[in-house]
Structure 1
Amino acid sequence: MKSPDYPETRRESLVEEQFGKSVADPYRWLENDVRNDPQVADWVSRQNTVTRAHLDTLPQRDWFAQRIRALIDYERFGVPVKAGGRYFYARNAGLQNQAQLFVRHGLQGASRLLLDPNGWAADGATALDAWKPSASGKRLLFSVQDGGSDWRMLRVLDVDSGERLSDEIKWAKFTDLAWIGEDGFLYSRFPEPEQGTAFQGRNYDHAVYYHRLGTEQEADELVFATPEQREMNHAAEVTPDGRYVVIRSSTGTDARYQVRVIDLTERERDGWKLRTLVSDLAHDWQLVANVGTKLWFVTNKGAPRYRLMTIDLAEGEPEFAEVVGERKELLERATIIGDYLVLNYLKDASSHAEVVSLDGKSVHTLGLNGLGTASGFEGKPGDPETFYAYSSFNQPAAIYRMDIATGQSEPFAEPELKFDPEAYLVEQRFYRSKDGTRVPLFIVRSKAAAEAGLAQPTLLYGYGGFDIALTPGYSAVRMAWLEAGGAFAMANLRGGGEYGKDWHDAGRLANKQNVFDDFIAAGEYLIAQGITPEGGLSIQGGSNGGLLVGAVVNQRPDLFAAANAQVGVMDMLRFDRFTAGRYWVDDYGYPEREADFRVLLAYSPYHNIRSGVDYPAVLVTTADTDDRVVPGHSFKYTAALQHADAGDKPHLIRVETRAGHGSGKPTDKVIEEGADILSFLAYWSGLQVPSFSSAEVAEARR
């Protein structure tokens, strides 16, 4: 297939001196907001036209679109939340663009629709984000996300009548939802941005406010802010019994918090009087719950893989005491249900759960089937039950109810499958990276192909950053790839959160190259083991994973047949200048510091594209309303790649409208984007779908 004729992109002679280096930035004009700059909007339109023409000619696209639609068309439930005898849960009938919210009065009661976001926008791109019932279950606080943006609108529903109250909160962002009794709530917000800066301006001056129902937002009480430290973020939680407010404050993406507490029993006398429990920004502190004056926290202080500690606020000068010590496995979170603690552990990136007494003695282990991810376990002291979800690569999420005293689980909602999960092999292997580090790798493929020793075109996925762990989970898009005859692999790279602080530290700042080495080694392993044929390896990653894809394509273009960089951070010298980018210095470093600058410049995807080298086929994907990683990153990288002498394979960009960094994306857009990406990767890695012969695919590729 002939390489597309790319649209002309204006290059400017912008060169800046930084620490003795001349750094060219010919496409800086593409950083401008596509919604406000007609020239950028025109560039996006012309790029989308060329990309659409290429994607529409791919013989596999229609098959993938049909198959993804079929595989995503099943009833899906969220984990129920109980409040005042009512059970709240999300449900998608199958192809609805957004999940609806339902309530039951009693576990066996009839379900009633509370909120249906599918009618909120003609294009389905306005989503119900977070939601939280009041303790009585009579009120529901919920947040609305429009067009994929990080900004949120907060609203309140009367559960019995189904009527919305008049309350409306604007400019909330990075907020928890925390009820104070039945009459008001706490939330976090930034000041209203200046005109035209909402989607690109830096975020400063985060603050916690109290809103009393029935009043205007302008009357909200300021509870906590740090005007002398404008870069700090603040999130407020309320303990399950409603007695304490816990406010955690941080400066970046690292889980390093100050912790303050407000005793609401003294509020009438003392107002929002804060008591500091942790003053240094050195460790993670995750609130579990309280029983009386005793608070439980999960922390990595003195325990890189976390431990469980308590503190009794009734003591004059309280100190933290250990309840459950650090183990080899990573303690992800804990909850108090009834008279027990439920501990969620991660062992080699797969979930394990254990029930222990409040003094830390083991009661029973929750049996989970194979390599998978368990989530949920919400509840409070005194509850007889909890709910959790369990999923794996070949298992869509099923919801279970667990009797906390006996540990017995029973299904609450199980999906009806449109494929045979037993036809697929899910395995975990370990390989050696460049420096000898042992790295986990999940591999999913058909059992028939594995038993026959067949090499299959493989899609390798990675992230490797920000202390985030990649764990097994179901995706209709990935299942379509498997059904087409491909294999899927997911590497648990350094920089992630699979093994705690040490694993994270080994893949950030000056150690960032380890992440790229880990990913490259994973690709080499798949080929060496005969899982992937030569010329059959595709790669994919989003956000920090988009950076990963851009970096490894520059470093080893010969290893990959095709690549999809999703909403990636591509300009490592200017990432901190937009929206939430300033937080990422915890993982990336400061571009204005010389030592960090030299590390960043060495791997920045935008600055290290190599002319005169044959690159794999590259499809960059982003969205016009991504205000997390602004689309200018992807625009500049694509323009530079198209300008370079980088071979005959296509280097294209797909820009979605009214979609952000990923959350809240309507089902229709998920299907269309998934079909575009998979057909592109399949075509250039030689994966034939069942309705096409290998000869047809080979002929088309010529």
Structure 2
Amino acid sequence: MPAITYPKTERSDVREEHFGVTVADPYRWLENDVRADTKVADWVEDQNQVTDTYLDALPARKAFQDRMTELFDYERLSVPQKRGARYFYLRFAGSTGHGVLHVREGLDGADRVLIDPNAWSKDGSVALGEWSVSDDGEHLAYAVQDGGADWRTIRVLKVATGEILGDEVRWARFTALDWMKDGSGFFYCRYPEPEAGMALQASVENHAIYFHRLGTPQAEDRLLYATPDQPRLLHLFEITKDGRYAVIISSPGTMAAALTVVDLTEAAWRPRKLIEDFDNEWNVFGNRGTKLFIGTSRDAERRKLVTLDLAEANPVFTDLVGEREAVLTSAWLIGGRVLASYLVDAKTEILRYDLEGRPDGVVEQPGIGSVLGFQGDPDDPESFFVFTSYDAPTTVYRYDVETREASIWTKPQLPPGLDRIVVEQHFCTSKDGTRVPMFVMRRKDVTGPAPTLLYGYGGFSINLVPIYFPPYQAWVEQGGVLAVVNLRGGGEYGRAWHEAGRLGNKQNVFDDFIATAEYLQAQGIASPDGLAIKGESNGGLLVGAVVNQRPELFAAALPGVGVMDMLRYDRFTGGHLWLPEYGSPAEEAHFRNLMTYSPYHTIAQSKTYPAILVTTADMDDRVVPAHSFKYIAAVQAADLGPRPHLIHVETRSGHGMGKPTEKVIAEYADQWAFAARWTGLDVKPV
């Protein structure tokens, strides 16, 4: 391997006192915008050059890239959305580019292309974001994502002709798209227009929901809902299938939220606040007239189903389906039935109920895995869903609620090799005795210790469920083991599981991850010095924290787009939305807790660290790249042993969404080759 000389990183004497503690921040200048500050841009270019030279010398890089290109080279479709007699879906054709939006005239009719985002830019950096079709199937509103940023520009297309109309809506962000029942226009979320040149640094405050009427300028869009007295709230919305109600979920950044409805049949569009506190979770999944069907965590740690009749002057919540031991994750009102999705040890089961909450059987699944994305209407028995698992490719099923029959609508034809892989679920015991589950993938003939990749997240009540992902297969085919752990901080076991991994309990997440690593080695699954760890975003924070706490456990670490400076995270873009998860650095109790694990501040000097490859992107306006810049600068400056500590900064890219497939392949080929080098995985062409 080539000798590594890290680029020189200037240190400044920035120091601040927090509650009697003096904290140095020598790399604060790296917080400047890489696209505007030539000094930061030069530093990034120098870092990328060193990293690229190192990665170019790894023979496994090309082997992984070639194999992942083959593994991604299959046709796959998204769950179709039925509007009128038309079906709309994304078609992914292979290992390059973005999915292409198609329309099918009738269930067995001809397909045609509506939108091909691959024609929008030469480098694939402009992508199709959210999209929604009017109820009559005549118009399509779609969002354009540029360079991976969270900002969106919304356009409108006439489905029959493909004509793009003159409507343009800008500064949409964290938005849904949903149409007025009569097709006259659509609802969307936006923020105020930022100052010129400041879009990627702008603080996200004053989120608002607007209605855009077709054929009118954006300046005339009608405000549906905003909270100027609470500018940091995030507003999510959905229009009920009958078009009567706009249901609004308002959150300070957690799953818990306030609940508001607007009756769109009233001229005034007056918000009716049903829940004003932020103590519980609420999800309205359908209605019958004035009766709402809702999932909630109120008086139910693992959630339950309730109803609420808006015709009553003082409506009360009535239990429909009580709390179960399994965790309610989603529900749908389709074909006169309630379909409820539950997690049992991170695996999905779908139960049926009638509209009075009486049990009505189950939706049979083809195996153990995940059911995602049910689509359907309250009065139409035809619906669609996706089934997937670590060893089962994403397959779209058509489900008839009335007859209970499920049939394959489309199943991808994969390259050979999947039948050589086995998936097992293991449980390990964390430091405080908590039982923590994980899924382990390996080749059937790999029965002894092997180089292992361990992936985790552990935050924001996000569930890691079994899905098919070709890079996992590429690692396992080479004789490696892939493990995905369901840490506290996620939502796999309900609200208590999340609470046990947030704020002052965050150390539990790191303890769970460390216990998992120790288990993999103690059980002879991972080789003694052959364990690599990976996580992204909040998972990047996880990787940075556990490396600082137990560097000897790991051979390699892959923190991606991580939250690394826990004292300043809330100062950038939407970082304040994470305050309910991490706590405020401006409050002493939270500050002292954050200082125990902030990756940038807790690097263990004079210890031997694993090899580290940090990844981030120059247009990430969610977790700004400064987190990764400052962290790797501090790591490179410390005395942490001979293994490489590198960063790769992707250009014209963001937090992860909107990447063309070839960029995904290139990124994973870099990471897998780096991990293989330091875990001892012997990579051969497949």
State the Cα distance separating 1:369 from its structure 2 match. 3.5
Structure 2 residue 574 is the aligned partner of structure 1 residue 580? yes
Kindly provide the amino acid, as one letter, of the partner of residue 117 in structure 1: P
State the Cα distance separating 1:96 from its structure 2 match. 3.3
Residue of structure 1 equivalent to 2:444: 447
Contact 1:622 1:654 in 2 (8 A): yes
**Match among 332, 345, 349 for residue 348 of structure 1:** 345
Kindly provide the amino acid, as one letter, of the partner of residue 323 in structure 1: L
- CA distance in 1: counterparts of 2:506 and 2:540, whole angstroms: 14
- CA distance in 1: counterparts of 2:665 and 2:645, whole angstroms: 22
**Per-residue CA shift, 1:378-417, capped at 9, x if unaligned?**
1111112111111111222010000111221100110112
Residue of structure 2 equivalent to 1:249: 250
State the Cα distance separating 1:3 from its structure 2 match. 4.8
State the Cα distance separating 1:196 from its structure 2 match. 2.8
Structure 2 residue 514 is the aligned partner of structure 1 residue 520? yes
Residue of structure 1 equivalent to 2:125: 125
State the Cα distance separating 1:208 from its structure 2 match. 1.2
Counterparts of 1:387-466 in structure 2, within 5 Å, are 387-449=384-446, 453-466=447-460
Contact 1:622 1:631 in 2 (8 A): yes
Residue of structure 1 equivalent to 2:291: 294
Secondary structure at the counterpart of residue 69 of structure 1: helix
Contact 1:298 1:307 in 2 (8 A): yes
Counterparts of 1:75-474 in structure 2, within 5 Å, are 75-180=75-180, 181-252=182-253, 254-267=254-267, 271-449=268-446, 453-474=447-468
Residue of structure 1 equivalent to 2:535: 541
- CA distance in 2: counterparts of 1:594 and 1:313, whole angstroms: 44
Contact 2:2 2:57 in 1 (8 A): no
- CA distance in 2: counterparts of 1:228 and 1:293, whole angstroms: 29
- CA distance in 2: counterparts of 1:110 and 1:161, whole angstroms: 15
**Per-residue CA shift, 1:412-437, capped at 9, x if unaligned?**
11011213333111111111001111
- CA distance in 2: counterparts of 1:690 and 1:264, whole angstroms: 61
State the Cα distance separating 1:144 from its structure 2 match. 1.2
Contact 2:255 2:460 in 1 (8 A): no
- CA distance in 2: counterparts of 1:538 and 1:147, whole angstroms: 30
**Match among 625, 628, 647 for residue 634 of structure 1:** 628
**Match among 672, 677, 681 for residue 666 of structure 2:** 672
Secondary structure at the counterpart of residue 228 of structure 2: coil
Kindly provide the amino acid, as one letter, of the partner of residue 117 in structure 2: P
Kindly provide the amino acid, as one letter, of the partner of residue 5 in structure 1: T
Kindly provide the amino acid, as one letter, of the partner of residue 359 in structure 2: S
State the Cα distance separating 1:249 from its structure 2 match. 1.4
State the Cα distance separating 1:371 from its structure 2 match. 3.1
Contact 1:2 1:648 in 2 (8 A): no
Kindly provide the amino acid, as one letter, of the partner of residue 251 in structure 1: P
Contact 1:259 1:278 in 2 (8 A): yes
State the Cα distance separating 1:213 from its structure 2 match. 0.5
Kindly provide the amino acid, as one letter, of the partner of residue 225 in structure 1: A
- CA distance in 1: counterparts of 2:251 and 2:380, whole angstroms: 32
Contact 1:3 1:649 in 2 (8 A): no
Contact 1:16 1:23 in 2 (8 A): yes
Kindly provide the amino acid, as one letter, of the partner of residue 275 in structure 2: V
State the Cα distance separating 1:235 from its structure 2 match. 2.3
Give the unaligned 5+ runs of structure 2: none
Secondary structure at the counterpart of residue 606 of structure 1: coil
Secondary structure at the counterpart of residue 209 of structure 2: strand
State the Cα distance separating 1:602 from its structure 2 match. 0.8
Secondary structure at the counterpart of residue 59 of structure 2: coil
- CA distance in 2: counterparts of 1:184 and 1:580, whole angstroms: 29
- Out of 5-14 and 273-282, give the one that drifted further: 273-282
- CA distance in 2: counterparts of 1:234 and 1:538, whole angstroms: 38
- CA distance in 2: counterparts of 1:521 and 1:247, whole angstroms: 40
- CA distance in 2: counterparts of 1:46 and 1:421, whole angstroms: 40
Task: Give me the CA root mean square deviation.
Answer: 1.1
- CA distance in 2: counterparts of 1:62 and 1:247, whole angstroms: 48
**Match among 488, 491, 505 for residue 494 of structure 1:** 488
Kindly provide the amino acid, as one letter, of the partner of residue 201 in structure 1: A
Kindly provide the amino acid, as one letter, of the partner of residue 59 in structure 2: P
State the Cα distance separating 1:2 from its structure 2 match. 5.6
Number of aligned residue pairs: give it: 685
- CA distance in 2: counterparts of 1:234 and 1:15, whole angstroms: 37
**Per-residue CA shift, 1:506-559, capped at 9, x if unaligned?**
011111011001001101000000011110000000000000000011011100
Structure 2 residue 547 is the aligned partner of structure 1 residue 550? no
- CA distance in 1: counterparts of 2:344 and 2:421, whole angstroms: 22
Counterparts of 1:594-633 in structure 2, within 5 Å, are 594-633=588-627
**Per-residue CA shift, 1:53-83, capped at 9, x if unaligned?**
0000012111011001000110011000001
- Out of 418-427 and 488-497, give the one that drifted further: 418-427
State the Cα distance separating 1:201 from its structure 2 match. 2.4
Counterparts of 1:34-113 in structure 2, within 5 Å, are 34-113=34-113
**Per-residue CA shift, 1:161-189, capped at 9, x if unaligned?**
11111111110011111211211111111
- Out of 118-127 and 412-421, give the one that drifted further: 412-421
- CA distance in 2: counterparts of 1:26 and 1:196, whole angstroms: 26
- CA distance in 2: counterparts of 1:654 and 1:25, whole angstroms: 22
Secondary structure at the counterpart of residue 6 of structure 1: coil
Kindly provide the amino acid, as one letter, of the partner of residue 33 in structure 1: D
Residue of structure 2 equivalent to 1:507: 501
- CA distance in 1: counterparts of 2:271 and 2:10, whole angstroms: 55
Deviation >6 Å, runs of 4+: none
State the Cα distance separating 1:251 from its structure 2 match. 1.5
State the Cα distance separating 1:221 from its structure 2 match. 1.3
State the Cα distance separating 1:443 from its structure 2 match. 0.5
- CA distance in 2: counterparts of 1:275 and 1:585, whole angstroms: 27
State the Cα distance separating 1:17 from its structure 2 match. 0.9
- CA distance in 2: counterparts of 1:370 and 1:685, whole angstroms: 32
Secondary structure at the counterpart of residue 528 of structure 2: coil
State the Cα distance separating 1:155 from its structure 2 match. 1.1
- CA distance in 1: counterparts of 2:148 and 2:369, whole angstroms: 28
- CA distance in 2: counterparts of 1:258 and 1:505, whole angstroms: 19
- CA distance in 1: counterparts of 2:121 and 2:602, whole angstroms: 41
Residue of structure 2 equivalent to 1:31: 31
Contact 2:75 2:413 in 1 (8 A): yes
- CA distance in 1: counterparts of 2:280 and 2:685, whole angstroms: 54
Secondary structure at the counterpart of residue 326 of structure 1: coil
Contact 1:606 1:637 in 2 (8 A): yes
State the Cα distance separating 1:631 from its structure 2 match. 0.2
Secondary structure at the counterpart of residue 526 of structure 2: coil
- Out of 364-373 and 333-342, give the one that drifted further: 364-373
State the Cα distance separating 1:691 from its structure 2 match. 4.6
Kindly provide the amino acid, as one letter, of the partner of residue 387 in structure 1: F
State the Cα distance separating 1:264 from its structure 2 match. 2.0
Normalised to the residue count of structure 2, the TM-score between the two structures is 0.99
Residue of structure 2 equivalent to 1:6: 6
- CA distance in 2: counterparts of 1:197 and 1:611, whole angstroms: 37
Structure 2 residue 495 is the aligned partner of structure 1 residue 485? no
Structure 2 residue 594 is the aligned partner of structure 1 residue 593? no
- CA distance in 2: counterparts of 1:302 and 1:106, whole angstroms: 44
State the Cα distance separating 1:316 from its structure 2 match. 2.2
